[in-house]
């Protein structure tokens, strides 16, 4: 099996040539374009780690379903979905226009930037420090990695250049979908995006979802329903405006980030983590997508 | 089980009060707003039929994944998806704007009107008569009902009033996504929407997909891959711009139509057909959606 | 004066190099890219004709304010503006999206394609032949040129390739802004666009408007108010989505066409006609615009 | 003449009933809905003042063409129009979507909120205090009223609730159309909107433009070209997304504000100021528009 996985990684590594590493967030442009890492952990504990599986990168949008789970733990499903919708948008992840053109002016879903910022605004805490600490601890817990930290340079870069995210936050503040200060929501959001992980960390989180919200030691952290919500939104909206094609070609609930990460869940079977920093034009890891398509085809992993 | 299903139908029938039957297509306004029918057939052959399961209605948009399968049989996956995309739109099913605003001007997916018309344009045949006959025969085959026919009054009504669909067809013709005449594509499309079915017919089609493209008698009609394509698009785009919420609440690949039908597939397990002509504001059968949510919760049918 | 005008034409002829002749309507691509003609007639009858002032070309969008005047004569201001608005759009002249996104679904103004088709639909007549004959006679009358005819090749080309215009016509039919058949409105529209004129003919029409709706022989054809409506819409919407900049730089009510014509009006003073087939990226005659800016600056012709 | 003007004001006062005073900016809701004031000053110095001509209100969007003139004085035409366009948008004055959907992401014109904020960002000064002081002095100078001050309550209200304007400012900052801090541009913008004026003050500013940029004492403050730029943008974009209809019905370069003011210019002839706080659905003073239409009709003031 390991040999087989290695051959898939080697087969797809060259595809990175067709993509580009993100450069609009200061720091990301330093990634090695040709890196490709894969980690798989089955629910029975078997683990496979190939290539650049232990290279650190910032989690970026892969953080979105995780923050969503804590927001639901904090406020319940009904309140969270009164602030953010459940529908795919058909637009780019950083698009602002639907906030204005749709009737409710509500962010469409928690997987695009607008909805993710509204979700980050829901994390409870006396102040921003406590809010982010609670969130970081949640990331550490479900990744079973107590050493997770943010990359401060990337955080400061996002904060400095994140004017479009800021625009969305103020728009939503104006429409009542962010209750506190817009800048507070943004600080939590920029920090969560800057958490450094490896493909193995993402695999652990995928495994947590594959088990329906349960850790390796058997501890239930979120309800099966909350885990299901995360997985569903990953299928319908997890790969930006390429989610439909990815569902069709791969069929595995997944969330990508412009840092190069993909966190994938085969319900009941396994978690998968990928590191592939060269992105396609929609912002998805280009070699990682191809690798997951091969994996899905060869091992019949599609949920459909 | 039957008693249990009956109680679910009765519980949800009252919800119809909150919706309205479609009136923009002449003929549909005659439906009984309070009708509610359910049919389930398991892959082992067990069948449950409750309420208005044998009332005839026009299939409307439920026809879309079916026509897609024949188009792929006729041309192959690659050619079909060069004419129509795979992404949810976030817009209403009859919206034209993304044809102009997106870069490629390509219809986003085969489940919205624009994409469905482009799909209908792909059905092979020497003339429109042959094209529609082939399509009708395909519907008859996979529903295992040789008596399916179109409702001519509804067809003529759609043809007479379908100016927005016509607008989309000409726009796509102008952009090269329809090769033949726009009016020919529209004729096939309006006819396929006007095919009369019952909830039971839809159940049979759902069962066909649940079996991965195989009929009751074991005959394989489409490949497993084609069946999977249909099911995936039903999850991401099958319930119009309510698909995301439906995936999250129900989690069963389904396709709705403004005639009141819903065709649902629990892969490997069962086909489900619903008749519920009172629609919510997105055009989905309002009692039918609630009924399917109850069913999914009670019987753990979500694919996530 | 003539020498001065000649020098302005020569100065601006080279600018054509930066533009391109239209090629999306079969026939237009044959125009001489470097042609530039200017004709000016003062209200006192003095006439200046320079360069390619007598080369024939199709009138295209310059026809729009003229058809509008006949439509108002036929139905009155109130009825006409119940079918088409008065507002600039900010979008390209052939854009369909605002028909869907604006609340009323009404075409924004009679100078963009959608609004012009809705206007053409208003010309009275027992059949299309009579409608177009009445319109052609109106063009002949106010241009004081009985020999105006359509270019049949261009007409057939527009008819064959005009699928986006067709899309708009059907959309407006569906929304009730076209009362008769969409194809009838399109036939009149495509024919009016295909009328062959020279810069001199456009000058005569401009002069007619400069006189407030009166011919050289003193005959009043339209009321001062109708002439004023045409001139106002030419300032706010006459140069497609470059109208604002043109108003600011030139300040002369003008209407351009992709055939290369510009018809300009200096109220009370003169009509101006330009032929300049190389277009800028918004579809406006590139050398013609520069020439009119020079003219306006040198002769202080801005109405502001 | 005065009697005649009085009768026009009385005739149109009742129309206020059909509108509503603005309530989204704290403070504006206190205006007297039925107020109507008119002031006219001819270039020969004759002055007519009727009704509520000396009631104070905040200038709001009427400030936009004034700030534009100072920005051009500070930076020149070319630089200013590299940061803001010249085209009408067809959208509401506070709409953000075209910033994203148009190719350049540049605000369309200085008369909508986005463009006005970008313009305010251009006022020179060592700090915000100096920037606003320079701007206020410019307002005082051309209105020939040294007592102009801001209404601090309205300013603080706009600052507190202006989240959509903030969203636009950050979006434009992200796209490079605001060079300094977004919050600095907003502070100047919110303050300029909060300057208190009377209809008479607006008349003086209108008169200044009617004279082509010259004060009563003959001092030239801006060039004729700069005055012309302001007047042109007032015709094409001055009355929000009702500018086209206003140009057609009234034909007088005018700028409205949601505080109830309209500043109008009849070039070479007169300045007109109106106070009419009841607004129509586009945000324009409803009785004021009707009054100006009557005035234009009766006195033949249209520039077309």
CB contacts of A247 in chain B (<8 Å) are: 86, 232, 235-236
Q: Is C20 on the interface with D (CB under 8 A)?
A: no
Q: Given a cut of 90, is residue B266 above it in pLDDT?
A: yes
User: CATH class for domain D22-33+54-253?
Assistant: alpha beta
CB C187 within 8 A of CB C159: yes
Q: Given a cut of 90, is residue D272 above it in pLDDT?
A: yes
One CATH from 3.30.1330.200, 3.40.710.10, 3.40.1010.10, 2.30.30.40 for A18-60+196-296: 3.40.710.10
Assigned superfamily of C2-60+196-299? DD-peptidase/beta-lactamase superfamily (3.40.710.10)
Question: Where does CATH 3.40.710.10 sit in chain B?
Answer: 2-60+196-299, 64-193
Q: pLDDT digit string (tens) for D125-184?
A: 999 999 999 999 999 999 999 999 999 999 999 999 999 999 999 999 999 999 999 999
Task: Give the nearest chain A residue to D24 (CA atoms).
Answer: A174
- Tell me the pLDDT band of A69, cut-offs 50, 70 and 90: very high
Quickly list DSSP for C104-162: S---S-TTSHHHHHHHHTT---SSHHHHHHHHHHHHHHHHT-TT--B-HHHHHHHHHH-
Nearest to C97 among B101, B166, B170 (CB): B101
CA dist., res. B120 & res. B125, Å (int): 11
pLDDT of C26 reads 83
Task: Give the nearest chain D residue to A166 (CA atoms).
Answer: D170
A 10 A CB-CB count for C112 gives 27
Strands A57-58 and A47-51: unpaired
SS3 content of chain C, % helix, strand, coil (to 5): 50, 10, 35
Q: Is C226 on the interface with D (CB under 8 A)?
A: no
Residues contacting B301, CB < 8 A, separation 6+: B250, B251, B252, B266, B269, B295
CA dist., res. A279 & res. A288, Å (int): 9
Instruction: Show contacts of D130-134: CB within 8 Å, 24+ apart.
Output: D131/D184, D131/D188, D132/D187, D132/D188, D132/D191, D132/D192, D134/D70
Mean pLDDT of chain B: 96
Q: Tell me whether residues C89 and D90 touch, CB distance under 8 A.
A: yes
CA distance C93 to chain B (A): 13
Query: Rounded to 5 degrees, what are φ and ψ at B41?
Result: -130, 125
Give me the mean pLDDT over the D257-268 stretch: 97
Give me the mean pLDDT over the C224-232 stretch: 97
CB B191 within 8 A of CB B204: no
**Is D240 noted as a catalytic residue in this protein?**
yes
Q: Given a cut of 90, is residue D29 above it in pLDDT?
A: no
One CATH from 3.40.710.10, 3.30.1370.10, 3.30.930.10, 3.40.50.720 for C61-193: 3.40.710.10
pLDDT of C27 reads 83
CA dist., res. C82 & res. C78, Å (int): 6
Residue in C61, C143, C254, C256 annotated catalytic: C61
Residue in D55, D222, D240, D254 annotated catalytic: D240
Q: Hey, CA dihedral for B281, B285, B288, B294, is it positive or negative?
A: negative
DSSP three-state, residue C43 = coil
Query: Rounded to 5 degrees, what are φ and ψ at D76?
Result: 85, 155
With 0-12 / 13-18 / 19 or more C-beta atoms within 10 angstroms meaning exposed / middle / buried, residue C74 is middle
Question: pTM of the predicted model, to two decimals?
Answer: 0.95
CA dist., res. B256 & res. B65, Å (int): 10
pLDDT of C117 reads 98
One CATH from 3.40.710.10, 2.60.120.260, 3.40.50.1820, 1.10.3720.10 for B64-193: 3.40.710.10
Q: Given a cut of 90, is residue A27 above it in pLDDT?
A: no
CA distance C110 to chain D (A): 11
pLDDT of A28 reads 86
Q: Tell me whether residues A232 and B245 touch, CB distance under 8 A.
A: no
Q: Given a cut of 90, is residue B27 above it in pLDDT?
A: no
Q: Given a cut of 90, is residue D27 above it in pLDDT?
A: no
Q: pLDDT digit string (tens) for A211-262?
A: 999 999 999 999 999 999 999 999 999 999 999 999 999 999 999 999 999 9
Question: Where does CATH 3.40.710.10 sit in chain C?
Answer: 2-60+196-299, 61-193
Closest among A217, A256, A215 to A235, alpha carbons compared: A256
CB C170 within 8 A of CB C162: no
- Tell me the pLDDT band of C25, cut-offs 50, 70 and 90: confident
Give me the mean pLDDT over the B179-189 stretch: 97
With 0-12 / 13-18 / 19 or more C-beta atoms within 10 angstroms meaning exposed / middle / buried, residue A167 is buried
- The torsion angle over the Cα atoms of residues C221, C225, C230 and C236, rounded to 10 degrees, is 170
pLDDT of D23 reads 87
Strands D254-256 and C37-42: unpaired
Measured between alpha carbons, how far is residue C104 from residues B190, C100, C175 in Å? 27, 9, 9
pLDDT of B23 reads 87
CA dist., res. B170 & res. A47, Å (int): 54
CB A112 within 8 A of CB A89: yes
Measured between alpha carbons, how far is residue D267 from residues C175, C231, C253 in Å? 41, 17, 16
Q: pLDDT digit string (tens) for C247-271?
A: 999 999 999 999 999 999 999 999 9
pLDDT of A210 reads 98
Q: pLDDT digit string (tens) for C3-16?
A: 999 999 999 999 99
CA dist., res. B290 & res. B288, Å (int): 5
Residues contacting A183, CB < 8 A, separation 6+: A169
DSSP three-state, residue C46 = coil
Domain A63-193 has CATH 3.30.300.30: no
- Tell me the pLDDT band of C227, cut-offs 50, 70 and 90: very high
Give me the mean pLDDT over the C146-173 stretch: 97
Residue in D61, D256, D276, D296 annotated catalytic: D61
The conformation of residue D181, written as its DSSP 8-state character, comes to -
Question: Where does CATH 3.40.710.10 sit in chain A?
Answer: 18-60+196-296, 63-193
Mean pLDDT of chain C: 96
CA distance D171 to chain A (A): 5
pLDDT of B102 reads 93
CA dist., res. A275 & res. A37, Å (int): 5
**Is D63 noted as a catalytic residue in this protein?**
no
Q: Given a cut of 90, is residue D267 above it in pLDDT?
A: yes
Residues contacting C71, CB < 8 A, separation 6+: C80, C110, C119, C120, C122, C123
CA dist., res. A170 & res. D171, Å (int): 10
CB contacts of B169 in chain C (<8 Å) are: 167
Look-up: residue for tokens 């007297």? D32
Q: pLDDT digit string (tens) for D102-127?
A: 999 999 999 999 999 999 999 999 99
**Is C80 noted as a catalytic residue in this protein?**
no
Q: Given a cut of 90, is residue B287 above it in pLDDT?
A: yes
CA dist., res. C250 & res. C232, Å (int): 14
Q: Is C267 on the interface with D (CB under 8 A)?
A: yes
Closest among C16, C48, C44 to C31, alpha carbons compared: C16
pLDDT of A26 reads 83
Residues contacting D83, CB < 8 A, separation 6+: D106, D107, D118, D119, D121, D122, D177, D178
DSSP three-state, residue C286 = helix
Q: Is D111 on the interface with C (CB under 8 A)?
A: no
For C42-84, where are the alpha helices, taking DSSP H only?
64-75, 77-83
Q: Is A168 on the interface with D (CB under 8 A)?
A: yes
- 58-87 in chain C: CB under 8 A from chain D: 85-87
Q: Tell me whether residues A164 and D170 touch, CB distance under 8 A.
A: yes
CB B44 within 8 A of CB B207: no
Q: Is B299 on the interface with A (CB under 8 A)?
A: no
pLDDT of B26 reads 83
**Is D256 noted as a catalytic residue in this protein?**
no
With 0-12 / 13-18 / 19 or more C-beta atoms within 10 angstroms meaning exposed / middle / buried, residue D268 is exposed
Q: pLDDT digit string (tens) for D223-255?
A: 999 999 999 999 999 999 999 999 999 999 999
Q: Is A176 on the interface with D (CB under 8 A)?
A: no
Q: How many CB pairs under 8 A join A and B?
A: 103
């Amino acid at each position: 099996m390991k040999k087989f996985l290695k051959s898939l990684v080697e087969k797809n590594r060259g595809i990175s040539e067709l993509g580009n590493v993100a450069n609009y967030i200061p720091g990301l442009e330093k990634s090695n374009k040709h890196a490709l890492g894969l980690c798989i952990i089955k629910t029975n504990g078997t683990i496979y780690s190939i290539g650049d599986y232990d290279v650190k990168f910032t989690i970026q949008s892969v953080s979105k379903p995780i923050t969503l789970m804590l927001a639901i733990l904090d406020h319940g499903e009904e309140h969270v979905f009164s602030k953010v919708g459940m529908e795919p948008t058909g637009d780019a992840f950083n698009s602002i226009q639907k906030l204005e053109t749709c009737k409710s002016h509500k962010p469409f879903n928690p997987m695009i930037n607008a909805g993710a910022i509204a979700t980050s605004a829901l994390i409870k805490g006396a102040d921003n420090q406590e809010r982010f600490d609670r969130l970081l601890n949640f990331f550490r817990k479900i990744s079973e990695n107590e050493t997770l930290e943010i990359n401060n340079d990337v955080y400061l870069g996002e904060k400095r250049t994140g004017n479009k995210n800021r625009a969305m936050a103020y728009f939503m503040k104006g429409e009542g979908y962010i209750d506190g200060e817009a800048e507070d929501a943004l600080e939590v959001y920029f920090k969560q995006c800057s958490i450094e992980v490896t493909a193995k960390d993402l695999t652990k989180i995928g495994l947590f979802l594959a088990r329906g919200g349960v850790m390796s030691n058997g501890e239930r952290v979120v309800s099966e329903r909350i885990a299901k919500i995360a997985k569903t939104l990953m299928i319908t909206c997890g790969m930006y405006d390429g989610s439909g094609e990815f569902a069709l070609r791969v069929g595995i609930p997944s969330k990508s980030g412009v840092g190069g990460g993909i966190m994938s869940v085969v319900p009941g079977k396994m978690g998968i983590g990928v590191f592939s920093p060269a992105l396609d034009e929609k912002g998805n890891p280009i070699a990682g997508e191809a690798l997951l398509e091969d994996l899905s085809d060869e091992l019949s992993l599609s949920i459909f």
